[in-house]
Structure 1
Amino acid sequence: MNLSEILDIDADLLNYVVIPALIFFARICDVSINTLRIILMLNGRKYVATILGFFEASIWLVAISQIFQNLGNWQTAIAYASGYAMGIFVGMMIEERLAIGNVVVRVITAKPADGLIEFFKEKNRRFTSLAGESGDGPVNVLFTVIKREKLGETLEAIKKYNPQALYTVEGVKKVSDGEVVDDRGFSRRIFRLGGGR
């Protein structure tokens, strides 16, 4: 007894619609899990990443086995590739919603950053404030390390208090008291100036 008889589905409908659809959704799941697993690995969450890796591999094996059983069916190949692409998109959307990890925000502004410094103090943020020099004259440089979930309100504060400021955001792998290690493995000290914590 074959699968179409077990499920009581027409063989053509099974081969050209149902199986490609299942492959498509399986690929969305395994690639989304892969995206999250990589992000969690970069953030040092090895146990959760390991568990996700198990499920990712299991789903992938089911999808690839169906591909090999239906090599003559171009719909399965399209479903496989489309599911992969959609899985990347879905994984990134999920990761944005979860806002996993920490980021360092750098702000460079020609105008005084007193309002932004007060915002950091009110929110009990650790920050560093430095005087710098650009091609156009003196600038203020601020650094802060925050949870990604706090990034939105931080960017809003930058736009409110220093709308002409240049800012950059970069993910960090590890944050400890006074030390930041970025994705490239570079380490630097973060000094808390201006009373920020």
Structure 2
Amino acid sequence: MEVSSFVDSTFFSLVIFPIIIFAMRLCDVSLMTIRIIFVSKGIKFWASVLGFFEITVWLIAISQVMNNLDKPLYAIAYALGFATGNYLGAFLEEKIAIGVNLVRVITNKEAQPLVDYLNKEGFGVTSIDAEGSKGPVKIIYSVVRRKDLKKIIDIVNEFNPNAFYSIEEVRGINKGIFPPQNVNFKFRNKLTRKGK
């Protein structure tokens, strides 16, 4: 079968081309999601590069849908690509994990074992005594790379599963103490549990 006859075939029109439109939309929406995150984090150059590819792919995909309005399957493929692209973009952003977060932990337990353990694992920690609605508490602050966020939350939960914590995105930092990259955290049963 010649290429031109294959492209003109019903199979190509009803199966292959909608898949191509879906894949293009999947790609451009994923790029858009990551580009928006880059813009919010001040990564201007790469946001611009991604924007160029995003809009190029989008223009090709939308032109094919607009030129074939008599084929609703193309519009459905376009919409499915959009929905799936949002999910994929968010998934990729989680895996890339760019930036830093502020973790704030409030606990009514004796927190020194947690502070000591976090320091030992390379996290910068600031702790202060405070007064909560039900008595004295300890507030612990740590600025962590997003890649280390799950590790520090696991450590906090191991120390005190009932501790209150909040996480905020940090736009910029100056200096700081961070654990070395690719550290294997094994903390189970290493924390002294006081004041249960």
- Stretches of structure 2 that go unaligned for 5 or more consecutive residues are 177-196
Q: Given the alignment, which residue of 91, 97, 100 partners 1:99?
A: 97
- Give the share of equivalent positions with the same residue, in percent: 39
Q: CA deviation at 1:136?
A: 1.2
What residue number does 1:171 align with? 169
After TM superposition, the score normalised by the length of structure 1 is: 0.83
- Alignment correspondent of 1:82: 80
Secondary structure, aligned partner of 1:96: helix
Task: Evaluate the alpha carbon distance shift between residue 143 and residue 8 of structure 1 in structure 2; reply closer, same or farther with a 3 A threshold.
Answer: same
Counting strand residues as a fraction of each chain, which structure ranks higher? 1
- Distance in 2 (CA, whole Å) between partners of 1:28 and 1:145 is 34
Q: Distance in 2 between matches of 1:38 and 1:176?
A: 24
How far residue 91 of structure 1 moved from its aligned partner, in angstroms, is 0.8
* C-alpha RMSD over aligned residues: 1.7
Q: Deviations over 1:107-163 (max 9, x none)?
A: 011111112211221133222212122221111111111100111110111011122
Contact 2:38–2:47 under 8 Å retained in 1: yes
- In structure 1, what is the Cα distance between the partners aligned to 2:4 and 2:120? 64
Instruction: Provide, for residues 68-118 of structure 1, a one-character-per-residue CA deviation record: whole Å limited to 9, x for no partner.
Output: 111111111111111011001111111111111111111011111112211
Q: Is the 8 A contact 1:113 1:162 kept in 2?
A: no
SS at 1:174 equivalent: coil
* Structure 1 residue ranges, 4+ long, deviating more than 4 angstroms after superposition: none
SS in 2 for 1:91: helix
User: Could you say which residue in structure 2 is the equivalent of 1:60?
Assistant: 58
The one-letter amino acid paired with 2:76 is I
What residue is the counterpart of 1:109 in the other structure? 107
Q: Which moved more, 1:106-115 or 1:169-178?
A: 169-178
In structure 1, stretches of 5+ residues that fail to align are 179-197
